[in-house]
Structure 1
């Protein structure tokens, strides 16, 4: 007996014992039996009364479909695969599906027993064929769901290898997860300084959920257990560093703050996945939501969540230095970039020896609806790979145009533009770069590319090394930006033939609180670069003292507010005409300059350890700090006394304990001079 076709239709048409009432009885009896067994009992326990009633109606409708005389194979297979996917996602395996159908089929057979055998037998055979085919299609759907999850994992793993920043990493993972049947929404969150979790990316209905948080319809998730917003799955997962699953999102009291909006969006289960650093500390959180109760209970979904935690946790930890950018802001930034609401300001870089202009750095700004400029440190972390390429193209085009305009006005200068390290080996950047240079008639040797600090592995280093050599062959200079900000910058210094390095301004800005430490960094990083015959630019020179100290310590170039603030291209002409900044590195005017001179004196003293006969002559000689004391601290008897004591103890050598103590007393006195200014 065929499952479909005229013969099956003829047999099933003559059934009058399986009306709607009979189907309802079959459903009740079926649930009464399977509902006592695990895991069906767990699945059913997550349903509220309305959902359970709806499920019964759906089963009755499905049985009615199986008994439909004119059912065709294609329609049946489509419906079976759809239902099979749902069963797979809620954790109902093929064995329980077969058990359920055996109960249903037996009840149908019992009701058909009242019919003559010549009528009931064809019906039983047709129904049996359809049930077997239904189980087969649903079982295949189980496999399809598994393959879908595997494909999603593969897509995420592949995207990880092709992205350099946090924005693209999460965007790629969410694009992959958005294709999973049953997942309604996802959020990526990180904690701000108050412990409130800020949403940085979403997929599916996650955007609407985030909007509800921003509009105050539902609270933002918190990590503090003493707050109601911190007692839900998200807060629990953050604190415990373990995955927390809510099989029935609406049931527990700890989800009460989010219940109204969750019900509106159809959230019935959820999972909070903490992403951990190497020490096991939570650094970010994934929140996933499904419209199926118990969606996250199945073994295959559990393994999927664990994989997400391990893989994304490792990759997020590598990129966690990126500051938090709430999603509302990141969306606005990308929109401004798309509509070309971009401005370029220029900050001069000068030769610290003679104050001549070396080049100007092009600094990107976004312009918001109020006409206010948004600095790069706020919007760059929100940009993905394609956004960064678009920004690079826009900034380079404006900078080249302005450079030629300045030359026509009488100021010939070079320009520096920032570039992400991965872009050096990206042919799209090279194509854009040379096209814009040609378009504006700017010679390649007037452009410097400042290589931003980003994580690199051994393969990256090799690719970038080749790319740098090719760009330098065209005359383009390559500089390492932010030297000293991370380990990889020192590795680069060893591998790449840089035309210059820039000491990270964060090191210099510490001079107000820890001046000795800041100057030690400048001194030793400068000596390291000079040993490799690489000129040094010090960023963040905000006042005369830091400019003077950097000059005394041997830096070649300077940049910062103490020299010039970022300005429009049209303002550069007047600045250049007016700028004067004379530094005498032998006679400092500030205590910070004197401290820099004293560090040099101490370094020279240590180097004389091999020539003790020269030590006495050196300690008696006039020094930079002596000249500072005579010209700017003549009335400071304590400094005079400390210097005399230091000279006396220095005769024992730079490593002698009494000299080291005297040295620190001098540093402390100069520190007090500097911080009291």
Structure 2
């Protein structure tokens, strides 16, 4: 074999033409036989890997694999090829010299006239730099760039996970706010650069004093937040004393404000701390109590603890009851207990005896208005017709109950697809699945048998798994591989609500990624970081071949912003509420997608549109009269904004200052007191 002359081409001229064409491609390309032995490699492949054509000829592509190549990804690759399908994913490969690189790999089979696979063709692209950028963006989304500690977003995520993880029992957590005393003097005396260096060193010391179970975040300025787990309400003060004494060691040694010798600074720290009961979602009230404890300490009224003060305001249980310090959580009265047990028994019996009811929420192509698929949502219908949401009955279920619920819901959903098939509507459906059900050894069999019973092709089914239930456990990874081998789609649900790494997101062959509705809601409070995240996910979706879906499109502004940022699919009440099965066909017939004019109708959409130019320092394209923002700004009548906007369409090259002014104005309008969101529509 020679580079540029693959076997199977007759005549020298077609071979030369074929070789020149593939050598002109910037991506590496391989052609193998049906047994995956390499027949052809183009110039880009040798440039990226360092292997010559002669060195790879006749060898299996496994020569690119190494010690850190993900076995789960390889299993998905082999499964796809054994089934005669295509594969697309990112694989850690190794060059001839042993250096690793991330390979965006696409492998497709070639068939002869009889349908027999004769060859495989692969396209390979080195995306190592891109992955580093995405990993850095992901890190900065959750961490403070100065100290490397978690930022406010990372703190919120940790506290939400804490509330889900510790939901019962007597174990409490403590949330403390740390403040460096008179730190402004440091900045004024030595400069902000020296102040930043001291904050960085202080953060490093604090991390070294914490237990493995504790958590530290930088709230901004000279304020930090510490989260301490595993406390007993009766003995919290005694348990905290040795933990906090070790924490205070971070300021026992003086700090150096700069490179000059002989200069040192001694710092003092103060801590206000409060308790959080198990299962309670932390909110502003918790931080207000911690801040109040800090203020009380710094006011000089507390003489018991010289540098920290424990808030003594009685915490509240998840149901709002007050828990007195020194006492365990009081039990509910007997009447409430009896009622709860009775309801649970009724709900459980009804759920598995004809009470399971499905609603279907459409997922819409935001570009065309077409239906992409329907998500099946479980409801419990009581004998009197009352419909209960999942929050009313899911908490009482055991893992075995979740298995039974999945099988029943899957049967109903696929059966409904069969009904719609008879009406000439060949739709797709997604079904939520519990991680415990995925781990059941019979789960793949349940799916296969239900598909066969209703004569539904596997690609018409998507399984949705919550992001915060997806981890790197080997058993769960094997379960994912078995499910993928069936040919069904796999969706990561509620991306942004959990703790996914980029490795986890790309290692498994997700066909769909759904962005959590809480991320979308942040367009109203912190639009710039949220738009950065959404635009990054839209680009990653294009690169990885995912269907990226924005959940929680609850109003025109959020929907328009998501569309402008390139999110291809969406679902939410602004598009349609969840529908009974009988209402789906007429909805499909009558649905009119929002805003097909291409013009901006909301300030949120205008902000997203302008931000795409502003982040690049670029002016708007085309004349102002044809800009989709023009009519909206004219309608609002904000003269300054109109002036700044017109400057984005001038050829003078001085648009940058007005671009920043327009971006700031639009940001204020979409986040100000909630009134802008109500009055922004054209």
Larger strand proportion of the pair: 2
Structure having the higher Rg:
1
